[in-house]
Each structure stands twice: as structure tokens, then as C-alpha cells.
Amino acid sequence: MMGAAEGTPARISVCIATYRRPDLLGALLGDLAVQTRLPEQIVIVDNDAAASAAAVVNDWRARLPRIDLSYEVQPEQNISLTRNRTVALADGDLLAFIDDDERAPPHWLAELEAALLRFNADGALAPVLPVLPAHAPEWIRRGGFYDRYQMPTGSVVPPNELRIGNAILVADRLRWLDPVFNPDYGLTGGEDGDMLLRLVNGGARLIWCEAAAVSEPVPEARLRLGWILKRAMRGGQDFARHFRVGRFGGRPSTARSVMFFARAASQMVTAAGLAILTLPVGRHRAAYWLGRACANFGKLSVLLGWHYREYAQPPAVTARIDGTAACR
């Protein structure tokens, strides 16, 4: 069913796209080294033309003699091309995806594989739990802006919650897609939702695995209202882009499109008003409604052909394990 010969264990490749986070990547490789279910292969593709991950990969290659550790540089700045290269290099029956700034407990890979088998699914997605630093503003804690989706194991993942940051997929399913990750999303983000929606629309069954949660430190740069609002706007743009190309039940008619964008305009105005009205109650409430306004603005901005390119001009810093940043 999963590409492995009958009666033999599936071969698992862990796919990691990385960019200027050598310390965090090293910590993740340390987690993968002590998994109760070791992967047969780890594929790392570096989107930094300077190959900033090379040293840490070479260090861990010597420590992981039982695991095939593959590393390549993909110099063009594009997250889709980078992810596609990980898939091209992976030779597993199952492909596990995890981000370079996440931490995986020892049972992570075993739980993902077990859920896939138990529910006879084509893929399993799992939670990414944010870890806020001790000094995070109270309004951010109260607002839950970094809380991630959770639900019972075995549940079918709804279309608007499809993410690749913590997942395992049957490799044969990905081979149906061309491209796997669309390069048009390479600087804006949203490539993971687009890919998973195409899988689902092609008949794939993706389920949830609550027990395979990983953690992710929230860096200092994201503890700001501006970042939260920009991410909300990008989420709205992603949703509208998927809607317009028919990822949610077929390409929409003109009437359905008019209703979609009219509703976005109405909700944007309403949310902006609620942001003003709720500010005396608490900054976290006003920020929530501002986020909703920005998300709907993001939907409307797609009509103008404008896309926020979140990954086009990243800061020239290297993330560290403690969530701070070191100047390069």
C-alpha cells in the first residue's frame, strides 16, 4: 500500500528545508538521532546559497552512521523549489516533513507512522505547539495568536487546516503531482496548503495525529503586532488564491466569486469597527479583530494581483535555539 514490499517495513525519509538556522537545525537533528523509530534517510536542502547549514550537517553525518543523511544547496530563493528538491532526493516509501525550527520528542516519528497505518490513510498531519519566551507580552499570551489547530487522532483534516510543518505522507501519492510544491508560492508561502489541497482533491485521505505533536519556539521578531497582522493578511491571500483556482470544490462561478469578495469586504469593515470598540476591553481583543480585518483585506488584495512576499527579503540574521537572533 505504501510502496514497500509486502511484509517488509516501510522506509521513511525525513525531509527538511532549511534557511540560515544552523543552531536550530542541529538541535532538530539531535532529536531525530534519538527517535524510537529511526528514519532510514534524512534529506536536508539548504536555501542559503552560502551553504550555512553545511557545517552542522557534516558534524551530524559522522554521528548518524545508521542513517543516510543527504544534503544539497538550492541557491534560488524559493521555498517551493527547496521543498521539491527534498522530495526529489528522498527515496522512502513514506516522507515525513518537519520544519528546521521545530523540536521533535522521541516518539514523534513512531506516532506518525502508527497513525498512518491504523487509519489506512494517505497522510497524517500533527500539531505544532508554539513555545513563547518568558518575556512575551501578556496581550499575546491572552490572545492565543500562536495557538495551533488540534483535534482527535484519526479525524480527517479540514481543508483550511492543511499544513506541512509536521506531517507524514505516502510517497507514491506525491508522485502524482507535477509540480509537488508550486513555485508560484515560493516567495509568498502557502505552497503547503496548495499541495495538500491538490492531494485531497485527487482522492487522498489525510488524518490527524494528536500524539505526534512537535514544539516550535516563537522568536523575538514575531512578538509584534505588525508581524501578527502581516501573517493574518497573508493567510487571507492564501485562502483567496486557493478559492479562485478551485481548490475548495471546483473553480467558482462569477456569482460565487462576487459573493466571496463582497463578504470579505463586509467582514473587513465590521472587524475594523470591532477592533476600535474592543480596545478599551483589552489590547488582545482589539488585536484579534485587527487580524480578522487584515485577513479579509488580504482576500480582497488578490483581486488586484498583489501578493505579500513574506520570504522575499528575510532579515540577514541566524536564528538560535533560545529564540534570539545573531547578526550575520
pLDDT in tens, 144-172: 998 887 899 999 999 989 999 999 999 99
327, amino acid identity: C
Query: Sorting pLDDT into bands at 50, 70 and 90, what band is 312?
Result: confident
Q: What pLDDT, in 10s, does the model give residues 29-38?
A: 999 999 999 9
Q: Please give the Cα distance from 130 to 316 (Å, whole number).
A: 23
Mean pLDDT within 41-53: 98
Closest CA to 32 of 214, 219, 216, 217: 214
Please return the burial class of 182, using the count of CB atoms within 10 Å of its CB with bins 0-12, 13-18 and 19+. middle
Query: Sorting pLDDT into bands at 50, 70 and 90, what band is 315?
Result: very low
Judge if 298 and 154 occupy the same domain.
no
281 within domain boundaries: yes
- The distance from CA 207 to its chain's CA centroid, rounded to whole angstroms, is 16
Judge if 218 and 283 occupy the same domain.
no
Highest mean pLDDT among 2-6, 89-93, 238-242: 89-93
Judge if 35 and 128 occupy the same domain.
yes
Q: What is the pTM of this model?
A: 0.88
Please return the burial class of 31, using the count of CB atoms within 10 Å of its CB with bins 0-12, 13-18 and 19+. middle
Judge if 26 and 143 occupy the same domain.
yes
Task: Report whether pLDDT(323) > 80.
Answer: no
CB count within 10 Å of CB 30 equals: 13
Judge if 269 and 150 occupy the same domain.
no
324, amino acid identity: T
Cα dihedral 48/49/55/61 (nearest 10): 80
Judge if 94 and 204 occupy the same domain.
yes
Q: What pLDDT, in 10s, does the model give residues 300-310?
A: 999 988 888 87
196 within domain boundaries: yes
- Beta-sheet pairing, 206-208 with 128-131: unpaired
Task: Report whether pLDDT(326) > 60.
Answer: no
Q: Which residues contact 305 (CB under 8 A, 6 or more apart)?
A: none
DSSP per residue, 236-257: HHHHHHHHHTTTTTSSPPHHHH
Judge if 82 and 107 occupy the same domain.
yes
Judge if 275 and 217 occupy the same domain.
no
1 within domain boundaries: no
At 5 the pLDDT is 52
Judge if 307 and 175 occupy the same domain.
no
Mean pLDDT within 20-47: 98
Mean pLDDT within 120-136: 96
Judge if 185 and 271 occupy the same domain.
no
- Chain mean pLDDT for the chain: 91
65 within domain boundaries: yes
Q: Please give the Cα distance from 154 to 240 (Å, whole number).
A: 28
Strand blocks (E) in the chain: 12-18, 41-46, 68-73, 94-98, 123-125, 128-131, 166-170, 206-208, 214-217, 317-319, 325-327
Query: Sorting pLDDT into bands at 50, 70 and 90, what band is 327?
Result: very low
Judge if 200 and 309 occupy the same domain.
no
Range of the domain at 118: 12-222
Cα dihedral 189/195/196/198 (nearest 10): 140
In the chain, pLDDT over 70 holds for what percent of residues?
A: 93
Q: What pLDDT, in 10s, does the model give residues 189-230?
A: 899 999 999 999 999 999 999 999 999 999 999 999 999 999
Q: What pLDDT, in 10s, does the model give residues 234-286?
A: 999 999 999 998 888 888 999 999 999 999 999 999 999 999 999 999 999 99
Asked if 84 contacts 43 with a C-beta cutoff of 8 angstroms, the reply is: no
At 7 the pLDDT is 61
At 318 the pLDDT is 39
Asked if 157 contacts 102 with a C-beta cutoff of 8 angstroms, the reply is: no
Judge if 79 and 202 occupy the same domain.
yes
Q: Please give the Cα distance from 243 to 162 (Å, whole number).
A: 14
Q: Please give the Cα distance from 163 to 157 (Å, whole number).
A: 10
Task: Report whether pLDDT(70) > 90.
Answer: yes
